[in-house]
Amino acid sequence: MSRLPPDSLAYALLHAARIDAAVGAGQSLADGLLARVDAAARPAVQDLVYGSLRQFGRGDFMLAQLLAKPLATPEVHALLLVALYRLETRPEVAHTVVDQAVAAAGELAGGRFRGLVNGVLRNFLRQRETLLAAAAADPVAAACHPEWWLRRLQAAYPADWPAIVAAGNGPPPMALRVNLRRTTRAAYQASLAAAGLAATPVGEAGLMLGRPLPVERLPGFAAGLVSVQDPGAQQAALLLDPAPGSRVLDACAAPGGKTAHLLERADLDLLALDLKPARCRRIAENLARLGLQASLKAADCARPAGWWDGRPFDAVLADVPCTASGVVRRNPDAKWLRRDADVAGFAATQARILDALWQVVRPGGKLLYATCSVFPEENGEQIRRFLATRPDARRDHEEQILPTADHDGFFYCRLEKRA
């Protein structure tokens, strides 16, 4: 139990350090690490966690210059990384940051590292310009991505990789998808304007907010007028575009954003699958908020014998598990949890899912293969492998969306099953 006031910077630094250390030990932010933090302090802790993880390569490089030897206490190491991030982003309050980081260190390892934390952070302030120049000259520190990740990006996108890296290191935009069954985009944009919130239209039913904000501040969010969804993700429903009345499968559906978008666009006989019951409950909650209905089942989509009734589907959305390399700014832990070998592992899982789902598509039907990855092995190479073994498959549409300041990175390929 922390003795620090929840509204203090020391509390935020301490709990951000504990979360970063948990990530370093192999846990994911998706495991609910932030939910354990005092609710009032959560936004400040989240800012420190996400920022320090996005800049981990840079911070870790500078910390290695500041320490005589690696620290054996992960939470103290993480505290220094979080404090370095805050010193870089808020230099005008450097004295306060150091003071509060020392207070946070008092809660770790019996307070034995208070002096070390104080000394390291003050050395950083004294050597700041030299350390920043050295970090800028180091490829991994400058890019804040692992070496293997950079190598893959450079091979696949010789001209675009710096922009992809820059997008991955920045804060993500916040876009909305208007529920056109309950309102119009123009009407909802007017509601935002009345609340003092600027937004610009994007795509068919999207609005890009001028700045991110908690969903509780969105007019009519609880009433199902709108959902948060990246413009790139909103492309899935438009590309699959099932006709009203179609029998549709969303095979990897949680948390339900694409499922909901499909149902907002047309009345469908839709089955949504996900592997875990808890994730299916989240789909159900999202659909209930939006006033939508679908059949839900907790099942492994790669094993149709466990869930398929034998009736073929007109359209299938296969939003398969992937490295999330196109949405890394939203999942900054992924850069440091993933390993080079994981790409091949994900590709094998994707191939198994794609092969399994193809058998449930009716002749003349379509399947949309989707990832939020930018690695070709998960995307175009996966499709080429599939087409080489499936004479009844025709590629109808394929696109790689690279991440920018306005949207995340996605890959889509629509396949048609020959009649």
* Strand order across the 410-417 sheet: 295-298, 269-274, 247-250, 313-319, 361-371, 410-417, 393-401
Q: What is the mean pLDDT of residues 214-219?
A: 95
Q: Would you say residue 227 has pLDDT above 70?
A: yes
E runs forming strands in 142-274: 175-178, 199-202, 206-209, 226-228, 247-250, 269-274
Q: What is the mean pLDDT of residues 313-333?
A: 97
Can you tell me the distance from the alpha carbon of 2 to that of 415, in angstroms, rounded to the nearest whole number? 54
**Catalytic: which of 144, 301, 322, 372?**
372
Whether 219 and 196 have beta carbons less than 8 Å apart is answered as: no
Q: What is the mean pLDDT of residues 355-374?
A: 98
Counting residues of the chain whose pLDDT is more than 70, the rounded percentage is 100
- Tens digits of residue pLDDT in 380-396: 999 999 999 999 999 99
Whether 332 and 54 have beta carbons less than 8 Å apart is answered as: yes
Can you tell me the distance from the alpha carbon of 325 to that of 373, in angstroms, rounded to the nearest whole number? 5
**Whole-prediction pTM value?**
0.93
Can you tell me the distance from the alpha carbon of 224 to that of 263, in angstroms, rounded to the nearest whole number? 13
User: Is 372 one of the annotated active-site residues of the chain?
Assistant: yes
At 57, the pLDDT band (50, 70, 90 cuts) reads very high
Q: Would you say residue 3 has pLDDT above 90?
A: no
Residue 291 structure tokens: 């006033």
Whether 142 and 58 have beta carbons less than 8 Å apart is answered as: yes
Sketch out the chain's domains with CATH numbers.
9-144 (1.10.940.10), 145-171+231-419 (3.40.50.150), 174-229 (3.30.70.1170)
- Tens digits of residue pLDDT in 165-190: 999 999 999 999 999 999 999 999 99
What is the predicted pLDDT for the residue at 306? 95
Q: Would you say residue 211 has pLDDT above 60?
A: yes
β-strand partners of 274: 298
Amino acid at 79: L
Closest C-alpha among 385, 395, 402 to residue 418 = 395
Can you tell me the distance from the alpha carbon of 46 to that of 20, in angstroms, rounded to the nearest whole number? 11
Q: What is the mean pLDDT of residues 404-413?
A: 97
Whether 17 and 79 have beta carbons less than 8 Å apart is answered as: yes
What is the predicted pLDDT for the residue at 2? 67
Per DSSP, 283 falls in state H
The mean of the pLDDT values for the chain is 96
Residue 253 structure tokens: 């559906």
Closest C-alpha among 162, 238, 184, 264 to residue 414 = 238
The string of DSSP letters for 322-350 reads ---TTSTTT-TTHHHH--HHHHHHHHHHH
Can you tell me the distance from the alpha carbon of 30 to that of 214, in angstroms, rounded to the nearest whole number? 18
3-state SS string over 52-102?
HHHCHHHHHHHHHHHCCCCCCCHHHHHHHHHHHHHHHHCHHHHHHHHHHHH
Q: What is the mean pLDDT of residues 344-365?
A: 98
Q: Would you say residue 299 has pLDDT above 90?
A: yes
Determine phi and psi for 209, rounding to 5 degrees: -75, 150
What is the predicted pLDDT for the residue at 32? 87
Q: What's the angle, vertex CA 16, arms to CA 29 and CA 97, rounded to 5? A: 155
What is the predicted pLDDT for the residue at 104? 97
Q: Would you say residue 305 has pLDDT above 60?
A: yes
What is the predicted pLDDT for the residue at 419? 87
Closest C-alpha among 121, 33, 16 to residue 113 = 121
Q: Would you say residue 1 has pLDDT above 60?
A: no
Residue 77 structure tokens: 């190491």
What is the predicted pLDDT for the residue at 330? 95
At 30, the pLDDT band (50, 70, 90 cuts) reads confident
